[in-house]
Amino acid sequence: MRTAIASLLVSIGVVAFLSSPVSLLQASRLPQDRNQRGAGGQPQGGFVEQRGGFDISGPYEVDPNWPKKTWPAPGYIWGSQGGVFPESADRVFLVSRGEIELPKDLKLGPNFPGNWGALNRGGATGEVPVFRNTVLVVDRQGNLIESWKQWDSLFEGGRGPHQVYVQPYDPERHVWIVDDMNHVIHKFTNDGKTKVFTLGEMGVFGPNDDLQHFNRPTMIDWLPDGTFFVSDGYANSRVVKFNKDGKPLLWWGSMQPAKGDGEFTVPHGIAVGDDRRVYVSDRFNRRIQVFDENGVFLDKWPSGYCHSLSMSRDQHLWCYDGDHEQFVKFDLRGHIETIFGRYGTYPGATWGVHQISADSEGNLYAAEVFGGRTQKFVPKPNANPHDLFFGRELAPRTPVTRISTVHLASPNAVATAKPNPNTPIPNFAGTWNFDKSKSQMAASGGMGNGVAEPPVAMTITQNASQISIAMKYESDSAQGSGGNAARNGPPTSAAFTLDGKMNQMPDPADPRPAYNYKRIANWDGARLVLRTIHGLNNVREVWVLEGNVLKLQRAAQTPGGADSATRDLVYNKGS
């Protein structure tokens, strides 16, 4: 009996194999095709194939032809994508960190999908962009409707837009754009013709208890009455609450990055629920924290490295987990209800999604900072609606009648008088030595690395038109000195003209114009502000002279928040 059953099973297996749609010849080719494609390669056909037991795009399939990408100049490709937000399926806002020049020796194949990540040359954040076509509007087919070129110059000196939003409860549909490296948030009319106001001050940062300035803000969300919350962010460790007019009300968090309840290390994402609770993705601590609208801590749960956080119409939190390159849907108690995604640069896979959003039809949008593209995912015909991300409905365009660690802003705060810019600039000339006992050291306890390392000694010469600085570093003995250091290291000399204009000096280690040292100095009557831009690195110093003591507020910023350092430093004048 056993022999008969075994014979029958073998016969069934042979018939099944011979009747399979994959022939012996096709089967012999499968490993070769797989190896040619590689881990992040391009599947055959228009949409992402679903093979095996892993569902790459979950209830969605990607539209590989959205957007059309017709706007980059010849020889350029669109750069790192900071954000995406649909006002509707027919009007989708994209914010791009400019355009990247394609390598001269590059030959593109016929199946090149049009994004930097597919070139296998590292992430799009590693290239110096041209700030062009930074704010775009496309329709449901991916056709370009608008390019707000009139505002491209706003992002010079930073790294481009960080996130974009249409205020959900605003009948005028104002557009808000966060610029983290310039420490500001801009509010525009929906057509982009007018900038309504700017929160913060361009290029000026402040510590956590400074309610007039940000230090690399990241995301925003609103209550129905127009009250809004800002996660701030890469260099600060707080959430700031504003009224509908942009007046700061309070902040919560910690003066330094920390791990306690109500404290943050890079609060990157923020979302507000109908329950008026505020959900914050505490990214480096890999958790989501929950607060009431006045900053009282309520709850927390593990979340992974959550880049983006967004509230859906059905009151669920959608997070993009950068640890696993996956989309995650949480209920408001932290239970995972949906999870899908896979790393890759082919259509449907993702690499470094920075902002996720959805329209009222359930289309999901994902802007990738590393992959250098924004993708649109459309629901599969048989998708369970519970697994889809439906964006919150926006307010009608016609107005309608709408029925801890907290620090309150002083109701009697008096604006600080601005200095007279005609006050003569003091004489900074001399030798200045770093005072470790009075200075804020790096998080590691030392001087810091790369551009985050300040000099231990400066010899300054000054005349009516220029300030020149010769610098020595603690790391010089280990690295050697002379000329300028390697491209990512600190320079050993610098010259700033005092006419308020930017000057450029080639980098001996990299003669490409994009890696010139760009320097500008501004005197406001009380402070000398020195700014150096070198490739993707940005160093800003505020000098205040008090007799024989030179006080510096120094911000050394690179594209990754972990490499940024804002410190208060003290130098004493030598004899």
- Does a structural domain hold residue 16? no
397 and 434 belong to one structural domain: no
- Does a structural domain hold residue 15? no
Q: Tokens 């004493």 sit at which residue?
A: 572
Task: Quote the pLDDT of residue 203.
Answer: 87
Question: d(Cα 329, Cα 317) in Å, to the nearest integer?
Answer: 6
Angular region, 525: left φ>0, alpha ψ -120 to 50, beta rest: left
Nearest by Cα to 342 from 363, 317, 358, 321: 321
Q: Could you give the 3-state DSSP secondary structure of residue 466?
A: strand
Q: What is the DSSP string of 521-536?
A: EEE-SS-EEEEEEETT
Q: Is the dihedral of CA 360, 366, 372, 373 positive or negative?
A: negative
- Does a structural domain hold residue 327? yes
390 and 471 belong to one structural domain: no
- Does a structural domain hold residue 46? no
Sequence-distant (6+) residues with CB within 8 A of 266 are 233, 234, 237, 257, 282, 283, 284, 561, 562
CB 266 within 8 A of CB 232: no
Nearest by Cα to 49 from 327, 342, 363, 357: 342
157 and 285 belong to one structural domain: yes
Kindly give the confidence (pLDDT) of every residue in the chain, 575 residues in length, as a single tens digit, with 9 standing for 90 and above: 444 444 444 344 433 333 333 333 333 333 333 223 333 444 443 444 444 446 789 999 999 999 998 899 999 999 999 999 999 999 999 999 999 999 888 888 888 888 899 998 899 998 889 999 999 999 999 999 999 999 999 998 888 999 999 999 999 999 999 999 999 999 999 999 999 999 999 988 888 999 999 999 999 999 999 999 999 989 999 999 999 999 999 999 988 889 999 999 999 999 999 999 999 999 999 999 999 999 999 999 999 999 999 999 999 999 999 999 999 999 999 999 999 999 999 999 999 999 999 999 999 999 999 999 999 999 999 999 999 999 998 988 765 444 477 877 766 655 566 788 889 999 999 999 999 999 988 766 788 777 888 999 999 999 999 999 999 998 876 655 444 444 345 778 999 999 988 888 888 888 888 888 989 998 988 899 998 988 878 888 999 999 999 999 888 877 654 445 678 899 999 86
Task: Quote the pLDDT of residue 59.
Answer: 95
Q: What are the φ/ψ torsions at residue 105 (nearest 5 degrees)?
A: -90, 5
318 and 377 belong to one structural domain: yes
Q: Could you give the 3-state DSSP secondary structure of residue 462?
A: strand
DSSP E strands in 161-282: the ranges are 163-166, 175-179, 184-188, 195-200, 217-222, 228-232, 238-242, 248-253, 267-272, 278-282
438 and 365 belong to one structural domain: no
- Residue 480's domain comprises 430-573
353 and 502 belong to one structural domain: no
Task: Quote the pLDDT of residue 560.
Answer: 55
Residue 503 pairs in a beta bridge with 519
- Does a structural domain hold residue 222? yes
Q: Residue 242 is part of a domain; what is its CATH number?
A: 2.120.10.30
Q: Residue 500 is part of a domain; what is its CATH number?
A: 2.40.128.20
DSSP E strands in 485-564: the ranges are 493-497, 503-505, 517-523, 528-534, 537-546, 549-557
Question: d(Cα 82, Cα 159) in Å, to the nearest integer?
Answer: 10
434 and 364 belong to one structural domain: no
Tokens of 57: 């795009």
Question: d(Cα 190, Cα 198) in Å, to the nearest integer?
Answer: 15
At residue 79, what is the residue type? G
How many domains, in total, are found in the chain? 2
Nearest by Cα to 326 from 311, 310, 338, 312: 338
Task: Quote the pLDDT of residue 49.
Answer: 43
Of 341, 376, 408, the domain-final residue: 408
373 and 482 belong to one structural domain: no
- Give Rg (Cα) of the chain: 27
- pTM attached to this predicted model: 0.77
- Does a structural domain hold residue 95? yes
- Does a structural domain hold residue 30? no
448 and 336 belong to one structural domain: no
390 and 485 belong to one structural domain: no
468 and 397 belong to one structural domain: no
CB 174 within 8 A of CB 190: yes
337 and 449 belong to one structural domain: no
Question: d(Cα 519, Cα 508) in Å, to the nearest integer?
Answer: 16
Task: Quote the pLDDT of residue 475.
Answer: 83
Q: How far is CA 434 from the centre of its chain?
A: 33
- Does a structural domain hold residue 207? yes
CB 516 within 8 A of CB 543: no
